[in-house]
Amino acid sequence: MFGPDRLRLDGRVALVTGGTRGIGRAVAEAFVGAGAAVCVTARKPDELAETAAALEALGGRVTTHQGSAGTVEVAEEGVAHCVADLGGLDILVNNAATNPYFGPLVDADAPAVRKTWQVNQEGPLYYTQAAWRQWMREHGGNVVNVVSIGGLRVGPFLGAYNVSKAALVHMTRQLATEMAPGVRVNAVAPGLVKTFFARALYEADEAGAARRHPLGRIGEPDDVAGAVLFLASPAASWITGEVLVVDGGASI
């Protein structure tokens, strides 16, 4: 029988990359609220300290790891830190992303493309591999990748970013087949969400941007966090290899 406990994460340990702001921060807060212990990773020590204090104030058991997503070493160290401090790693949320270039892909310079694909494609793979080797292969688990509706359709100005997210969509499905049955791998594909990362897409005309959504508003980080919580919870125990679109109806 389905009950509210199906959305609980009591006794589970989660690692959220890029978890100090925006969608990642909302996910970390949702997980703490559902009873999970959480490891947050990010680049800036001051943001990690503030996030840890805020999550602990919510009653959470929290640890942090500092480093830039996109390298094998940071991923391996971050997962090892999580396992050592919190006793395991049941849920991995690959949320960290970057987009240093805004413009046509055909004109993008190599360093910007390399950085975008390193963080957005390689980073999730390295964290997932580390989680698999250090915990999930033996104990099972759950991976949720934060992709984008830009990875599902073509759009202007964000070509390098969108291609990286399209690759992550395919990676989600590939890893879902390889890591089954013990590990589920899914993704959420947000549309336009009100974050610092996406501010250039809505700040000039938020009302106009809202009107382009059937639900009449742009998204909030909590809208995406709810979808991630569902996929990470026992309520989604028979779902793997799927991409859940969370975009206020914009793609229809």
Residues tagged active-site: 161
Structure tokens at 88: 């395991």
Question: CA 229, CA 225: separation in Å to the nearest integer?
Answer: 6
145: which strand partners? 94, 187
Of 72, 190, 44, nearest to 128 (Cα)? 72
Q: Which residue has the tokens 């959470």?
A: 60
Tokens of 26: 């909302």
Contact present, 85 and 95 (Cβ < 8 Å): no
Spacing of C-alpha 195 from chain mean position: 14
Neighbouring C-beta atoms of residue 97, cutoff 10 Å? 26
Q: Which residues of 209-233 are buried (b: 16+ CB within 10 A; e: fewer)?
A: bbeebeeeebbebebbbbbbbbbbb
